[in-house]
Chain A
């Protein structure tokens, strides 16, 4: 929202003098006061607003909180509409939604998240609240429809919505009607009855008309409030009442034409003149009227019009702002257009100038366009663009693009570039290139002049009002080109233009430089060049911090951490999140958007390190802060993280359900989707033996072990390798194992070349399992050893422990040979816990207890060392190899083996392994 809110739109109109209290309608409204929605749907001039104002004056007497919003055409987009609705609510319930209001100031505000918070806060309010949306037909449309339907569906019982409109809104009225949650007041209800006509003319207006005259008026006007009001004005001070009524009722003319003419004819010239000239204005205030009429009686005029009930409606309590009754204004405008067509442009231009001088660019541009002065409008727009862009009001800029002819834009480079940016921000790419070329033609690179002569003067014919923006233009244009190329999918061109944007922007133009860095970072990332991507994102974050764009810093931090995770540097990823959180905490006001995302990120790292409690706590914290503190992607990222915790806790059904939800709420952004949810889904299925479904996913994705590899599909290809291994485990098909082996080999090379240590660890783990499946234990242990060395510094756990009993076997086999065995023992303990859990199926029992139980089946328990040896006996290693692995002599090994045989009561290696299996020992 650019500029301050228009206060007058939140003003609850006061009941006017000389109106009739209409008890039958008040009763209907009282009924509406108990229900969800009250709809006042009738054409212009039926007295909807007057009725509401009157009824609310009584409500105010009861101290019931009321939120009032008078809508206008400019409120049809989510940001202005909901900002005003929330502000109106705050007038009724101070402090309501204060935490979420700032969230509306974004290009795509998270409307449902914000409304959920507001609805929660509303349900805690003890009083009945009435929320009035006046003139809803001016905003009814796709922009706000979904949010309004959501609000209506979830409205707490003590909140009552009242909508006045000239056309039935696109809301689920039939459903509400069927549930008895809708009270309607329509034209038929609003028409004045004969009794009300009598009360209006004889009591309120003091005219004392005869019964037959009243009947004639009622018949001719059909009880239409606007016509009755005009008739009363025409009758005031008239001697020949009967003559007027006869003329009026015997005339075929459109009733408003007839009556307005009557009223206007009876006004002194200076009032008539004032009415006509100021009819170009949507809102009236003394100084603005003075600017338009070139007189100085604006304020006094408005006050006297209000006293005379001449269709001005006060918009505030201190007689500052008014508007004409819509219908009256329309008729005045037809008179003005008819009688003074030539004056129109001048009147609009004066209005435009006044608004411009008073810092209101939107109406200034509107009047300037109405005046037909596109040159002037173009200048105003050019100067307004930076503030509008900052406030994410690209929609307003977009709306003007069609109104300004190309020829006018072409000579204005700053405007042309501004339009190009607004187009892209609103998701349109057609016409962007043309606008950029228009802008660029004025910026031919000045040839480097060795003599140091001053830069050439701006080209003749170029029009620039915003010199500051002109200076930024070389960088801005390159930035927009980079964004355009990114949308086209041309990575090389994106980076080239982004680089050029940085070179051409001033050192202190942090915004352009940050945006350009982020664009090239994005491109490097998509291409798998993580080092370059990291450098670019770091530069972007630095710049964004300088200009205080905290939410953007948080957004980039997610990417930065994702890069670190792919590199296998979990500590640095964690530090990235923590630093971002510190920055967010230092920001005054509510948690900036993106705060919730940082906790989800930290949760993922805790999960990988098998600290599930911490992982779950981070997710709870993220949720507590609220969805409004999350970027759009947080909804799905949170669910993915939770699904993995559920899976780790043995709740596969819950995990899969969360993944489905995650997929439903998935929102892409410009970042490459390097870990697609369906791939994770397939992994979970494969890990739990549901190979068929996982396989059909790989087929749907046309994944093959011999595909060309790219970073963008790495996660899917690793998933394919997992599915193939699972298939081999299920049916021993050599083809699957061969495919997996081949694919993993190539994946490892690619990951190592791309510096993706995180991916390499996972691939090595899978390779070890593949070797093991083939019965090649030495190769399996060697590969696993490699993986362990890479993984230990970063503290990876689950990449090992998520694998099945084969991993237990391998870890047991390798443990004795590792120099620092604490890490491996930790992994092994976790792995054994998991095996215990799955074999007994009782998650409540700790595996330690179960192990003790089993060991007690022996008369004399095995020593730690004997257990190590027993584990090695389960492998394919021969005696000397086992001795080497365990760093013992062959003799010592023999002693251990003899003791083991004795304790188990067996006489051969094969028997020992079988017996150990029966006892759950290996």
Chain B
């Protein structure tokens, strides 16, 4: 028996972007299971990672909740990623 193809939106593993308020220190990357954290020019942080299923996504959201981070949005990322505000290349805290 093989797993059914993840053809329906929202079911099989997908890539997600989680946006939270405030610029997160990069050290949180490990806490979130090695997600990439990108500080955005609008004062938010976008968390990106490999494709995860629903259960893993909820696990991540729980971590966001437990860290007290204000959650702004969760987006499923398809083949054509939405265009977020550009990262700030010279963010003074990005490399901390």
Partner of A327, one of B23, B68, B93: B68
B15 CB, min distance to chain A CBs, angstroms = 23
Indicate whether B13 reaches chain A with its CB closer than 8 angstroms: no
B30 near A334: Cβ-Cβ < 8 Å: yes
A residues 28-86 touching B (CB-CB < 8 Å): 43-45
Closest-by-CB residue of B relative to A187 is: B70
Q: Which of A102-158 contact B (CB under 8 A)?
A: none
Chain B residues near A334 (CB-CB < 8 A):
25, 27-28, 30-31
Residues of B within 8 A of A261 (CB): 25
CB distance from A628 to the nearest CB of B (A): 36
Q: Find the B residue at minimum CB distance from A46.
A: B68
Residues on the A chain within 8 Å of B30, using CB: 334, 337-338, 341
Selected contact of B25 from candidates A45, A167, A254, A326, CB within 8 Å? A254
Instruction: Quote the shortest CB–CB distance from B70 to chain A (angstroms).
Output: 8
Instruction: Report the bound CA distance from A587 to B43 in whole Å.
Output: 68
B49 interface residue (CB < 8 Å to A): no
Contacts of A255 in B (CB 8 A): 22
For the complex, is B66 an interface residue (Cβ under 8 Å from A)?
yes
- Find out whether the CB atom of A257 lies under 8 angstroms from the CB atom of B43: no
Please tell me if the beta carbons of A166 and B22 are within 8 angstroms of each other in the complex: no
Q: How far is the CA of A334 from the CA of B28 in the complex (A)?
A: 6
The one of A254, A330, A335, A338 that contacts B24, using a Cβ cutoff of 8 Å:
A254
Asked if A44 meets B66 with Cβ closer than 8 Å, knowing A253-B22, A254-B22, the reply is yes
Cβ–Cβ contact A43 & B24, under 8 A:
no
How far is A256 from B27 in the complex, measured between Cα atoms in Å?
A: 13
Q: In the bound complex, what is the Cα–Cα distance between A224 and B93 (angstroms)?
A: 23
Residues of A contacting B21 in the complex (Cβ-Cβ under 8 angstroms): 254
Whether B31 lies near A333 (C-beta < 8 A) is yes
Contacts of B25 in A (CB 8 A): 253-254, 257, 261, 334
Q: Is the interface of A mostly helix, strand, loop or mixed?
A: helix
Contact: B66 with A254, CB < 8 Å?
no
Residues of chain B contacted by A820 (CB below 8 angstroms): none
List which B24-58 residues lie within 8 A (CB) of chain A.
Answer: 24-25, 27-28, 30-31, 39, 43, 45
Distance, CA A335 to CA B96, complexed state (A): 11
Residue of A nearest to B25 (CB): A257
**Distance of A252 Cα from B25 Cα, bound (Å):** 11
- Shortest beta-carbon distance, B93 to chain A, in Å? 6
Q: Smallest CB-CB separation from A138: which chain B residue? A: B66
Q: When chains A and B are docked, how far (Å) is the Cα of A888 from the Cα of B68?
A: 101
Q: Which of B20, B27, B68 neighbours the largest number of chain A CB atoms within 10 Å of its CB?
A: B68
Q: Which residues of B contact A341 (CB under 8 A)?
A: 30
**Nearest CB on A from B46, distance (A):** 13
**Inter-chain contact A326/B66, CB cutoff 8 Å:** yes
A226 interface residue per 8 A CB criterion: yes
In the bound complex, how far is the Cα of B22 from the Cα of A337, in angstroms?
21
Please give, as numbers and ranges, the residues of chain A lying within 8 Å of B20 by CB-CB distance.
254
Q: How far is the CB of A126 from chain B (nearest CB, A)?
A: 40
A167 to B22, CA, bound (A): 21
- B41 CB to closest chain A CB, in angstroms? 9
* B73 beta carbon closer than 8 Å to chain A: no
CB-nearest residue of chain A to B65: A166
**A253 and B23: CB pair below 8 A?**
yes
**Complex alpha-carbon distance, A337 and B20, angstroms:** 21
A254 to B20, CA, bound (A): 9
- B67 close to chain A: CB less than 8 A: yes
Closest to B91 in A: A252
Q: Which of A316-354 contact B (CB under 8 A)?
A: 326-327, 330-331, 333-335, 337-338, 341
> Which of B24, B27, B65 lies in contact with A167, CB distance below 8 A?
B65
Q: Check B74 for interface membership: any CB of A closer than 8 A.
A: no
Q: Is the CB of A330 within 8 A of B66?
A: yes
Given contacts A252-B22, A253-B22, A255-B22, contact A335 B27 (CB under 8 A): yes
In the bound complex, what is the Cα–Cα distance between A341 and B24 (angstroms)? 19
Let me know if B77 is at the binding interface, CB within 8 A.
Answer: no
Chain A residues near B24 (CB, 8 Å)?
Answer: 253-254, 257
Contact across chains for B68 and A44 when beta carbons are under 8 A apart = yes
Interchain nearest-CB distance for A632 vs B (Å) = 32
Tell me the residues in window 147-185 of chain A with beta carbons closer than 8 Å to chain B beta carbons. Answer: 166-167
Near A by CB (< 8 A), chain B positions 52-96 give: 65-69, 93
The reply to whether B66 and A166 contact each other, CB–CB distance below 8 Å, is: yes
Query: In angstroms, how far is the closest chain B Cβ from the Cβ of A231?
Result: 14
User: With A334-B30, A337-B30 given, is the CB distance from A43 to B68 under 8 Å?
Assistant: yes
B68 & A337 in contact (Cβ 8 Å cutoff) = no
Evaluate contact between A44 and B67: CB separation under 8 angstroms: yes
Residues of A within 8 A of B28 (CB): 257, 334
Minimum CB distance partner of A253 in chain B: B23
Q: Give the residue name and chain of the A residue nearest to B45 (CB).
A: A254
A49–chain B nearest beta-carbon distance, Å: 14
Question: In the complex, which residues of chain B have a beta carbon less than 8 angstroms from the beta carbon of A167?
Answer: 65
Q: Indicate whether A254 sits within 8 Å of B31 (C-beta atoms), given known contacts A44-B67, A166-B65, A166-B66.
A: no
Q: Chain B residue with minimal CB distance to A44?
A: B68
Contact B23 A252 (CB under 8 A): yes
Closest-by-CB residue of B relative to A331 is B67
User: With the chains together, A44 CA to B70 CA distance in Å?
Assistant: 11
- A839 → chain B closest CB, angstroms: 67
**A337-381: contact bitstring with B at CB < 8 Å (1 yes, 0 no)?**
110010000000000000000000000000000000000000000
Q: How far is A166 from B45 in the complex, measured between Cα atoms in Å? A: 22
- The reply to whether A43 and B65 contact each other, CB–CB distance below 8 Å, is yes
Whole-angstrom distance between the alpha carbons of A621 and B37 in the complex?
A: 67
Residues of A contacting B31 with CB < 8 Å?
A: 330, 333-334, 337
> Least Cβ distance of B66 to chain A in Å?
6
A341 to B29, CA, bound (A): 13
Across the interface, name the chain A residue whose C-beta is closest to B20.
A254
Q: Closest residue to B24 on the A side, CB-wise?
A: A254
Contacts of A257 in B (CB 8 A): 22-25, 28
Q: Which of B21, B67, B69, B93 is packed against the most chain A CB atoms within 10 Å?
A: B67
A330 and B67: CB pair below 8 A?
yes
Query: Quick check: B27 and A226 within 8 Å, CB to CB?
Result: no
Q: Nearest residue in A to B39 (C-beta to C-beta)?
A: A252
Mask for A252-270, Cβ within 8 A of B = 1, else 0? Answer: 1111110001000000000
The answer, among B43, B66, B68, for a CB contact under 8 Å with A252, is: B43
Contacts of A331 in B (CB 8 A): 67
A334 to B68, CA, bound (A): 14
From residue B56, how far is it (CB to closest CB) to chain A in Å? 15
**B93 contacts across to A, CB distance below 8 A:** 253
> Which of B39, B45, B68 interacts with A256 by CB under 8 Å?
B68
A341 CA to B27 CA, complexed, in Å = 11
A residues 211-267 near B (Cβ < 8 Å) are 224, 226, 252-257, 261
Contacts of A254 in B (CB 8 A): 20-25, 45, 69
Which of A253, A327, A335 interacts with B67 by CB under 8 Å? Answer: A327
CA distance A724 to B2 in the complex (A): 52
A166 to B68: give the CA distance in the assembly, Å: 9
User: Which residues of A lie under 8 Å from residue B68 when comparing CB positions?
Assistant: 43-45, 224, 226, 256, 327
| Cα A608 to Cα B77 with chains together (Å) | 71
- Of all chain A residues, which has the CB nearest B68? A44
Tell me the minimal C-beta distance from B91 to chain A in angstroms: 8
Interface centre among B20, B45, B66 (most CB of A within 10 A): B66
| Closest chain B residue to A227, Cβ basis | B68
**26 intermolecular pairs with C-beta atoms under 8 Å apart:** A43-B65, A43-B68, A44-B65, A44-B66, A44-B67, A166-B65, A166-B66, A167-B65, A252-B39, A252-B43, A253-B22, A253-B23, A253-B25, A254-B21, A254-B45, A257-B24, A257-B25, A326-B66, A327-B67, A327-B68, A330-B67, A331-B67, A334-B25, A335-B27, A337-B31, A338-B27
Q: A166-B65, A327-B68, A337-B27 are in contact. List 12 more A-B contacts (CB 8 A).
A: A44-B66, A226-B68, A253-B25, A254-B45, A254-B69, A256-B68, A257-B22, A261-B25, A334-B30, A334-B31, A335-B27, A341-B30
Report B's interface with A, CB cutoff 8 A. 20-25, 27-28, 30-31, 39, 43, 45, 65-69, 93
Q: Which 7 A-B pairs have the closest CB atoms?
A: A338-B27, A254-B22, A44-B68, A252-B43, A257-B25, A334-B31, A252-B23
